[in-house]
Structure formats: C-alpha cells, structure tokens
C-alpha cells in the first residue's frame, strides 16, 4: 500500500495539462460528425415544416400545431442547438459531411425499396395468417411502386451523369 503520492517534476505535469485528453480518433470524429449531421438535418426539416400550417399527403397528414409565438421560440431553440453543433465541430475539428440531393435520393430509394419488399404477402405472414388472394392483389401493386422507385433511381443516376432517359 502506498502512503505517499508520486510527485512528478513540474514540467511533466504542465505538459500533461496542455495535452488534450478529449482528442478523438478518426472513427470517433466520423461517428460524432454523422450524429451531428443527423441532428442538423432534422432541425432543417422542422424549420421547413414550421413555415407551413399543415401538410396533407396521401398516407400522411401533419398538422403544425404551434402558434406564431411558439414557432419563434422553437426557432430560437434550433438556433442554440445549431450553435452547439458549430461549437462541437470547432472544438473537435470535425469535418462537415458533404452530400448532394442526388446522394440522399439514392440512399432513400434503396432503403424504401427494402421497406416495400418487406410488405409483400410472403413477408406479411410474420403478422398472422395471410389470405391466399393477397399475393394476387397486393404484390403487383407493391411491385409497381418498386418499379417506380427503381425508375426514379435510374433518373437520378442519369441526371447526375448528365444523360437523358
């Protein structure tokens, strides 16, 4: 058992203070950067939605249920959060993620394709018995949507490459 604490020379303890203990590895920087990017993307979407009163689509309805004053307060919160993101970026020397809308559409269509595939009759069995007619009714309609997503993907790829359909 030690009764005395080790005393380091003055210069060694000073150097330790100067060396940042919070340095991140490249992988840690990338992970933190992606998390902050996701947060910033959501804030961007929220700001866009706050400019509207509602959104009404085919399968999705969203009512913007904030008063003008509440929207102002939310935007102030968003600004503070963005400043926090900016502070973290600066403090930990993070690089912004550079994407294009092309990248986002392509990654989304790929994900949505798998979501739609999982809704075909053979996969719906995981939720209970599937009527034999379901495959004849549902699957062709889902296949049409998947074909449309694939056409969108091809179109985005062509637009990116500067060619026409």
Contact 64, 53 (CB under 8 A): yes
Band of pLDDT at residue 87, cut at 50, 70 and 90: very high
Q: Please work out, in degrees rounded to the nearest 5, the angle formed at the alpha carbon of residue 64 by the alpha carbons of 60 and 66.
A: 160
Q: If you average pLDDT over each of 55-59, 97-101, 161-165, which comes out highest? A: 55-59
pTM of the model: 0.73
Per-residue pLDDT tens over the stretch 117-143: 999 999 999 999 999 899 999 999 999
Nearest CA-CA partner of 114 in 86, 77, 146: 146
Tens of pLDDT, residues 41-70: 999 999 999 999 999 999 999 999 999 999
Distance of CA 103 to the CA centre of its chain: 12
The share of the chain scoring above pLDDT 70, in percent, equals 85
Residue 163 or residue 99, greater confidence: 99
Residue whose C-alpha is closest to residue 16's, from 8, 26, 25, 24: 8
């Amino acid at each position: 058992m030690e009764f005395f604490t080790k005393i380091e020379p003055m210069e060694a303890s000073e150097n330790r203070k100067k060396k940042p203990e919070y340095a991140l590895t490249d992988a840690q920087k990338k992970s933190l950067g992606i998390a902050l990017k996701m947060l910033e993307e959501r804030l961007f979407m929220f700001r866009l939605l706050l400019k509207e009163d509602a959104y009404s689509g085919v399968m999705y309805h969203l009512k913007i249920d904030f008063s003008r004053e509440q929207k102002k307060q939310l935007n102030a919160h968003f600004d503070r959060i963005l400043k926090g993101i900016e502070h973290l970026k600066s403090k930990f020397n993070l690089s912004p993620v550079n994407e294009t809308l092309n990248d986002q559409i392509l990654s989304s269509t790929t994900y949505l394709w798998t979501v739609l595939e999982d809704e075909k009759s053979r996969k719906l069995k995981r939720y209970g018995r599937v009527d034999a007619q379901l495959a004849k009714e549902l699957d062709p309609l889902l296949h049409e949507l998947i074909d449309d997503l694939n056409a969108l993907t091809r179109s985005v790829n062509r637009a990116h490459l500067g060619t026409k359909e």
